Chain A
């Protein structure tokens, strides 16, 4: 919590993330409150109980769209923090745990990396190499769609 607060203030956009969920207007929330990327992992980078419990199930995760690696594709990377905003905030070591591979059902329009989005899809755990792009991911949301939060 302490670390997140630090990051939030560093980013200067902490207000929305630090707000207790209960204060959010009900309409903005899906059936269940969106998960934070962090909640998918334990401290030691292994999958959390939440993640294991939700494997193969639909869920909604909030985060930011990293600049897409491929154009006109159905694949992007969801990050905990907006990319390219605060180069000092993140250390490389955090990266593997703080990103989630997203496979959307349709090709999507890029959303600015600074806009928070809520992605819904089925949670898949375990290594998978994308035959098209060759990218290897450990966790994914598949059949996903997203909205700007």
Chain B
């Protein structure tokens, strides 16, 4: 039963470094539910910072990060963790898998701490995802025997195993060659679209940009004016 994603609204957002330097300033941004958005911009622009803030991993100095009614900026740490656990899927730039676990164990990692009732569904879904991503037969193998593209696909399976309404991805294709990147983008987008998910990805990948509903440009910690429009 796919859940409908909440709309995203940022207001008066400011993220600063621990030293107090402004990293990101966003007066206003709204992202409609069920759309695919790509964030691009030069290195050090603040793309990852934005994504982390959207996931509640960075607490802004001021402003609101509203997913529906939930303002992550005002939520205590355990509630943010719960939000991440229940509503978000995250794909990291360099896959970040547990090398000592199998592909299936990585994909269904959330089952280790999910409520008992949800475990069976989670395991089934992660297995189905691995199959869909072409890794079904090798689920029992340890991750350290997989290639970079395969690992990134396992990371996608892990991000989607909880069937989250929102998927955040930070340069998911950065470490992949063209063919692998294309394949991952195709998989990612079809899986997300199937479930009516909101996708926000940091990427320079032309395939991903082509598939997106909207592209945001970030430079020097600020949104370029033209990208604020839908």
Asked whether the complex places CB atoms of A and B closer than 8 A, the reply is: no
Identify the B interface with A (CB < 8 A).
Answer: none
